[in-house]
A and B are shown apart, each in its own frame.
Chain A
Amino acid sequence: MPHARALLRNAAAAAIATPPTPLIAGRVFAGRVWPHDTGALPAARVFTDSEQLAFPLSMTEVQRTVALRVEIIAVGLEGVIDDAVDDACEEVESRLSVALTVGGRSVRPVYQTTDIELDRDGERVTARAVLTYRVDLFTQSSAPGTLA
């Protein structure tokens, strides 16, 4: 059975990708690590890179506070790249503003921060925005893929 984090990533990627959005349709990845091609951008990558555990009720049920992050990559000319990455952010934010179904449970991502970085080392300006959401998942301590 997949881990709760994997279920969360897949649910978030599906929510962003379905139905297709105007900008990042077909380019939403859960777990991609290889470089993007400039001809296939903007794109979004969903990942979870940290988690804090608590046992609020009993030792058999774990509260997992997961950092769900969506990385958006876009390229463009100077002067328009900021708008391009913000347009893609708008697509992601609107899709993750509603509850997700994770392991049969309704889970609401809490939007926390966006960090945007620009790089001018390539042929065009590259922009990366990382949207961070806090998600609380409750699982059985003996079954991290089973949501309580």
Chain B
Amino acid sequence: MTLETDADRLAMLQAVGEQVTLAGASVWALWSSPYAETLGVSTRAPAVLVREIDAAGVSQSSQLVRAGITYRVAAVEPDGTGMVTLQLIRAS
């Protein structure tokens, strides 16, 4: 039984997310940038949550553009339910 469809996921992202450019295509995403600490530096750990079908073909060399800032995908983390978290690192 399907509890949630891709259309449901898109509706959720359209309700609370924003549009970003992922690998050249415009997709809906939920942006987060929580506090992180790495090697004794206070920083942020930017990431987006997108639908798995929108991230097909995305790899560690893919780029994401948000608010004029270009990021490189550092990790692709599918959650197994149709959504994917993309860990990002600034490329510009």
Contact = CB atoms under 8 A, between A and B. Distances in A.
Nearest to A123: B44
B41 interface: yes
Nearest to B88: A123
Interface of chain B, helix or strand or loop or mixed?
strand
B92 interface: yes
Interface residues of B, number: 19
Contacts of B40: 35-36, 71, 73, 128
Interface in A21-39: 35-38
Given A35-B37, A78-B72, A123 B92 contact: no
Sort chain A's interface into a size bin.
20 to 34
Contacts of B41: 35-38, 41, 73, 75, 122, 126
A122 B38 contact: yes
Interface string A65-87: 00000010101011000000000
Interface stretch (A53-61, A99-107, A113-121): A113-121
Nearest to B46: A123
